[in-house]
Amino acid sequence: MAGLRSIAHVFVVCTFAVVGLLSVAANGHAEMSAIQIASGLSFPVYVASPRGDPRLFIVERAGKIKILEGGVKPTPFLDISPLPMPGERGLLGLAFAPNYAVSGFFYIYYTNATGDSVVARYHVSAANPDVADPASRTVVLTVPYTGYDNHKGGTVAFGPDGFLYLGLGDGGSEDDPFDNGQSDSTLWGKMLRLNVSGALPATPVVRAKGLRNPYRFSFDRETGDLWIADVGQDTLEEVDHQLASDSTFHNYGWRIMEGTNCFIADPPPAPACNSPALTLPVTEYDHSAGKCAIIGGALYRGIIAGENGLYFYGDLCTAQVWTYDPATGQTVERTAELKTALSGATLQGIVAIAEDGAGELYIVDGSGGQVFRIYPQACGLGFELAPIVPPLLWLRGRRMRKRE
């Protein structure tokens, strides 16, 4: 009996630890694991949820958005398939309006049949909250096809200012042949701000330049800081960080620089390599051992106290995962905790790390057709807390809803 009591005691202590009442961790981090929450998907690329909403919306690249609630619902929320998917094209991004519960508006980013990049707004069906109204489609922005099928960006997200942001890559090929990243006469290679509360289509405002392919970026739901994972070319993958309080126009350097390396010099008046006019990444990694492309990324704001405020990102080719701590500047590899789910399923390739309505993070595996959820694990004791986490999240969501 004493043994059982002591196991129960450890369980209770660890449970409270991961929900934030104690701190855990020999390595400075609460322990976590991954759980496969969906499989058999057709190249998922992203997940999102309206804030406080318990449903998870899974974006499939061919043009479907599916709802996970218990299981994956048979009827898609939205279906604009089949989109052509050469290179890096397809349905890539989804953002819910901050006031989605009232307005019913959401926004998608995709490349259409002719290759143009499109942001469109839809409205949820008046009759069924699990289905969008396809007739509500309104175009927010169209950026014409560059003739290349890569470096389209891929994320749309609302900033703390209420504007919708779209990150566009340099429009493709390699070496940025049109120097789009530095050019002030194109939207490619830029971070764009869109006012979607006025007349549509919106007029984009360029908020940053010098991006190669900000395929995944996010705003920290707690601080409003912007985190960009900008995909490199030959050598370096980088993370860029802009504080919410910083309204400066940033030039993130491409193609003058790739990460902290000099790349292709532009004639003056363009800044030189290492000029203070160029904003360097806060962290970067190289292409050793098969690494190929950075996949952002979000700040963890979920239930595991020890992970709070860490930026999670991964690599497309190796399915490695790291956390970057903005408080210390330290990067820690977390692959061992996350690459193999408790069910035994293994991540094949990471195409997004993104959050749900409560700030929990998910790893989206495109080629593996699966989605992993990052879960707390009980103090390394070999059992995990999955059975008790849903009620805890439900209670937490209830507290959040009461506060709003």
> By C-beta, is 253 or 349 nearer to Ca ion?
253
Q: How far is the CB of 268 from Ca ion (least distance, A)?
A: 20
271 near Ca ion, rule: CB under 5 A: no
DSSP for 71-95, written as a single string? EE-SS-SEE-PPPP-STT-SEEEEE
366 near Ca ion, rule: CB under 5 A: no
> By C-beta, is 155 or 370 nearer to Ca ion?
155
Residue appearing with tokens 């991954």? 34
Q: Report which residue type is found at 222.
A: E
> By C-beta, is 30 or 278 nearer to Ca ion?
278
311 near Ca ion, rule: CB under 5 A: no
> By C-beta, is 108 or 211 nearer to Ca ion?
211
Helix H or strand E encompassing 118: strand 117-124
217 near Ca ion, rule: CB under 5 A: no
> By C-beta, is 31 or 258 nearer to Ca ion?
258
Q: Which 234-253 residues touch Ca ion, going by CB under 5 A? A: 252-253
Size of the site for Ca ion (CB under 5 A): 2
Q: How far is the CB of 264 from Ca ion (least distance, A)?
A: 13
Residue 266 CA, chain-centre distance (Å), reads 31
Q: How far is the CB of 74 from Ca ion (least distance, A)?
A: 43
CA distance 130 to 126: 10
Q: In 221-356, where does DSSP find H-type helix?
A: 335-338
> By C-beta, is 238 or 355 nearer to Ca ion?
238
Q: How far is the CB of 389 from Ca ion (least distance, A)?
A: 37
Q: How far is the CB of 147 from Ca ion (least distance, A)?
A: 24
Q: Could you give the string, one character per residue 291-310, with x where binding to Ca ion holds by CB under 5 A and - elsewhere?
A: --------------------
Q: How far is the CB of 31 from Ca ion (least distance, A)?
A: 33
349 near Ca ion, rule: CB under 5 A: no
Q: What radius of gyration do the chain's Cα atoms show?
A: 21
Instruction: Specify whether the CB–CB gap between 108 and 120 falls below 8 A.
Output: yes
End-to-end CA distance of the chain: 45
232 near Ca ion, rule: CB under 5 A: no
Backbone angles phi, psi at 297, to 5 degrees: 155, 140
Q: How far is the CB of 371 from Ca ion (least distance, A)?
A: 29
CA distance 314 to 360: 16
Q: What 3-state DSSP class applies to 99?
A: coil
Cβ neighbours for 68, distance < 8 A, ≥ 6 positions apart: 37, 38, 55, 56, 57, 58, 371
Q: How far is the CB of 229 from Ca ion (least distance, A)?
A: 11
Residue appearing with tokens 């360029």? 206
> By C-beta, is 111 or 213 nearer to Ca ion?
213
CA distance 276 to 256: 13
Nearest-CB residue to Ca ion?
A: 253
CA distance 47 to 55: 10
> By C-beta, is 165 or 252 nearer to Ca ion?
252
227 near Ca ion, rule: CB under 5 A: no
Residues that bind Ca ion (CB under 5 A): 252-253
